[in-house]
A = this chain, B = another copy of it.
Amino acid sequence: MSSRSDQWTRTATRIFRTIWRNPNISRVDLAKKLGLDKSTVTKQVADLLENGLIEEKEEGEASARGGRKPIYLAVNKEYGRFIGIELQLGFFEAVVVDLAGDILETARGEVRITQENFAATVADIVDTMQKRFCSDSLLLGVGVGTAGLVDSKKGRIKYSVPLGIQKTLDFAKAIAGKLKAPAFIENDANCCAWGELAFNRDEELKDFLFALVEYRQDETSLIRYGGIGVGFGVVLGGRVHTGAHGYSGEFRSAFCDGPGELQFSLSREELMCLRGDKNLLHRTVDELARNMAMLINTMDFQHVYIGGDIEALDIDLPAILRHRLEENWMYPSPKDVEIRYSSLGDKAVAFGAAGMVFERLMAERSMPGLAVELKNLDQQIGA
């Protein structure tokens, strides 16, 4: 008796999502928006209320022509929390996020990741975060973002230059049993895309590109890949695009001639001194902009978000990109493409990892309280 049928959960998820995206919406408006009968909404909402996923807010104002006041509905932020973690070569960045997408706590620390201790490291971070920040609240899920080829569906890291991972690391298998909540792993740039997508209330945000441009100055990174790393997160039709093999978003400039490990046509020596040489920096960023312009026009993205510490460097990538975009577009009527820095700064990956978990629980319809009627669970335990 504990689980509802698939159809019920499906509708419950749709309703929950809509309430989530439109705080203070009435039952009637929900019904209109979803093309359902208002009585259907009443019944579903009663269930969501009982399970604690949403709550009734104060009544709104009646229409000018009279009528009963609507009862506003909103998600219960306190229902549960997500933990998002970015793992990099020498450090981690973690955030605790509530159901509204608000960051409650952040943490940063040093770690030394190896093929072997990867899952254990994640489990440690989660345990610490949970004890410190949300011991009383329900942990809904954990998301991990990291650079490299990640097969997110299978939960594996195939390869990672920055982390020095050479053979497949089965994260899903390694983490199994170590945590009480579900855990997911995803490429860092894709995480950023998830972040913009998941906790954004704009339903029109359906086709965008997130460019994660990192510049590392530590010796290992400089030698391994010249210090500058670019990854894309691609969202099409409102969904993060994983690609045929799960490797979407990997970038290497079209200007590179011949094989190599660098993402740009510049030499390793040139890349290593970008910070000092304004001219070289401009050449590199312009090369990136020309590649991106082609990609953006061909795929017809609506928005471009730029994240990573490129923002800290003394160069205006958005302006350069805007210029190259216009140049690359051959038609008289200009196309409006919104380009801007991500507002999340150095928390973008960790925050996005949390957002990914939210989206995946919704997509898989395995969010506790949506898939399972909690009241009946209690009865079972009580009996």
State the A residues within 8 Å of B (CB): 149, 158-159, 161, 206-207, 232, 234, 236-237, 239, 241-261, 263, 290-291, 293-295, 297-302, 326-333, 335
In the complex formed, the residue of B with least CB distance to A337 is B244
Interfacial chain B residues near A249, Cβ < 8 Å: 298, 300
User: Are A250 and B330 within 8 A (Cβ)?
Assistant: yes
Q: Give 8 nearest A-B pairs by CB, closest first.
A: A243-B300, A244-B302, A248-B300, A207-B244, A254-B294, A254-B290, A247-B300, A252-B328
Q: Which of B149, B261, B327, B332 contacts A256 (CB 8 A)?
A: B327
User: Are A294 and B335 within 8 A (Cβ)?
Assistant: no
In the complex formed, the residue of B with least CB distance to A286 is B257
In the complex formed, the residue of B with least CB distance to A335 is B245
Interfacial chain B residues near A332, Cβ < 8 Å: 159
User: Are B241 and A297 within 8 A (Cβ)?
Assistant: no
Q: Which of B261, B300, B330 contacts A330 (CB 8 A)?
A: B261
Say how far A163's CB is from chain B's closest CB, in angstroms: 14
Given A248-B299, A290-B254, A298-B232: A327 touches B243 (CB 8 Å cut-off): no
Interfacial chain B residues near A290, Cβ < 8 Å: 254-255
In the complex formed, the residue of B with least CB distance to A326 is B259
Say how far A106's CB is from chain B's closest CB, in angstroms: 31
Chain copies in complex: 2
Say how far A56's CB is from chain B's closest CB, in angstroms: 31
User: Are A330 and B241 within 8 A (Cβ)?
Assistant: no
Say how far A120's CB is from chain B's closest CB, in angstroms: 26
Q: A237-B239, A254-B293 are in contact. List 12 more A-B contacts (CB 8 A).
A: A158-B333, A236-B237, A241-B299, A249-B300, A251-B298, A252-B297, A253-B294, A254-B255, A256-B327, A256-B328, A295-B295, A299-B299
Interfacial chain B residues near A248, Cβ < 8 Å: 298-300
In the complex formed, the residue of B with least CB distance to A225 is B330
Q: Is the interface of A mostly helix, strand, loop or mixed?
A: loop
> CA A100 – CA B297 in complex, angstroms?
35
> CA A239 – CA B302 in complex, angstroms?
18
User: Are B244 and A301 within 8 A (Cβ)?
Assistant: yes
User: Are A149 and B331 within 8 A (Cβ)?
Assistant: yes
Q: Which of B234, B237, B291, B328 contacts A294 (CB 8 A)?
A: B291
Could you list 13 A-B pairs, sorted by A, with CB under 8 Å? Answer: A149-B331, A159-B331, A159-B333, A206-B244, A242-B300, A243-B300, A245-B335, A254-B290, A254-B293, A257-B327, A258-B327, A295-B295, A299-B299
Say how far A208's CB is from chain B's closest CB, in angstroms: 8
Q: Which of B161, B239, B300 contacts A250 (CB 8 A)?
A: B300
Interfacial chain B residues near A242, Cβ < 8 Å: 300
User: Are B259 and A327 within 8 A (Cβ)?
Assistant: yes
In the complex formed, the residue of B with least CB distance to A148 is B331
Interfacial chain B residues near A333, Cβ < 8 Å: 158-159
Which of A239, A256, A300 counts the most B-chain CB atoms under 10 A from its CB?
A300
Interfacial chain B residues near A247, Cβ < 8 Å: 300, 335
User: Are B328 and A254 within 8 A (Cβ)?
Assistant: yes
Interfacial chain B residues near A252, Cβ < 8 Å: 294, 297, 328-330
